[in-house]
Amino acid sequence: MDHELRKRCTSVTQREPILNVPAVVTATIAAFVLVHAGRAWLLSPEEDAEFLIRFAFIPARYDTSLLPHEAFPGGTGADIWTFITYALIHGDLMHLAVNVIWLLPFGSAVARRFGPVRFLLFFALTAAAGAAMHLATHTGAFVPMIGASASISGFMAAAIRFVFQTGGPLNVFRRDADPQAYRVPAVPLTAVWHDPRILAFLGVWFGMNILFGLGSVAMPGVEQAIAWQAHIGGFLGGLVFFAAFDPVPRKTA
């Protein structure tokens, strides 16, 4: 009996890196939860509004023809940090839960490949790319943008560069998968457009975001219009800048 128990425990231990969520993803989710809990339990409505002005992304902050720059708290620092901090804030528990559900598979795949430092830098970069796209398409808007969707879209874009590859996470049995499945050489950016599986994923993803933009589909937990342009900005940022973060050597011809 003891021998059989040890055998089963060893089997579970060997599969642990595949089944467990990477620590950096858990920490990211914990940051989402702490920010949300702090807003809900520690801040008054007036203080929460002040918090959003300082840390959400507001395009009007960058248009001095509408209001003087001094009208927005935080000054130059907020002009910079809100490109990232908005991604840590969520509207309600449903909004938070939806983003966590999407972050777990795609963020975990990228975290296993990138490691924690690259993961966090990539999160920040794709958040900034999403904010930049939102700013370009919502000049002068006063409605704050919040949520991690742009970064999650960036993780989706990064994941499709390697998960479909031979020996990758989607090409092995999950029970016996090797952590090296997350470190297979990525498909070159120029070859992305020739893989039918990636094209199918892109078609579905962009189609959903177009429906968000037309108002035909509603996102659970989000009462305001979906910032779908930010999703696209984060996705394109993840697709283009993946190679700059990828620690796995490229496949030679």
Out of 3.40.50.720, 3.40.1350.10, 1.20.1540.10, 2.70.70.10, the CATH code matching 2-245 is: 1.20.1540.10
Phi, psi of 188 (to 5 degrees): -60, 150
Among 74-78, 135-139, 153-157, 169-173, whose mean pLDDT is lowest? 169-173
pLDDT at position 14, please?
A: 45
**pLDDT digit string, tens, across residues 6-59:** 554 444 444 444 447 999 999 999 999 999 999 999 999 999 999 999 999 999
Q: Residue 196: CB partners within 8 Å, gap ≥ 6?
A: none
pLDDT at position 167, please?
A: 83
Read off the pLDDT of each residue in 110-134 and give the average, rounded to a whole number: 97
Cα 60 from Cα 27, distance rounded (Å): 31
At 226, is the secondary structure helix, strand, or coil? Answer: coil
* Closest listed residue to residue 74, CA positions, set 90, 85, 89: 85
Domain coordinates in residue numbering, the chain = 2-245
Q: Which pLDDT band holds residue 113 (cuts at 50, 70, 90)?
A: very high
pLDDT at position 175, please?
A: 46
Cα 195 from Cα 226, distance rounded (Å): 29
For the beta carbon of residue 86, count every other beta carbon within 10 angstroms: 26
Cα 47 from Cα 62, distance rounded (Å): 23
pLDDT at position 251, please?
A: 64
Specify the pTM.
0.85
**pLDDT digit string, tens, across residues 65-86:** 776 666 788 888 999 999 999 9
* Closest listed residue to residue 55, CA positions, set 36, 78, 38: 78
**pLDDT digit string, tens, across residues 183-239:** 999 989 888 888 888 889 888 888 887 776 665 444 444 445 678 899 999 999 999
The secondary structure element, H or E, covering residue 191 is none
Let me know: does 182 contact 109? Beta carbons within 8 Å: yes
**CB-count exposure of residue 158 (10 Å: 0-12, 13-18, 19+):** buried
Let me know: does 46 contact 107? Beta carbons within 8 Å: no
End-to-end CA distance of the chain: 52
pLDDT at position 191, please?
A: 86
Indicate whether 164 pLDDT > 70: yes
pLDDT at position 6, please?
A: 54
Structure tokens at 214: 């037309």
Q: Which pLDDT band holds residue 179 (cuts at 50, 70, 90)?
A: confident
Sign of CA dihedral 101, 150, 209, 245: negative
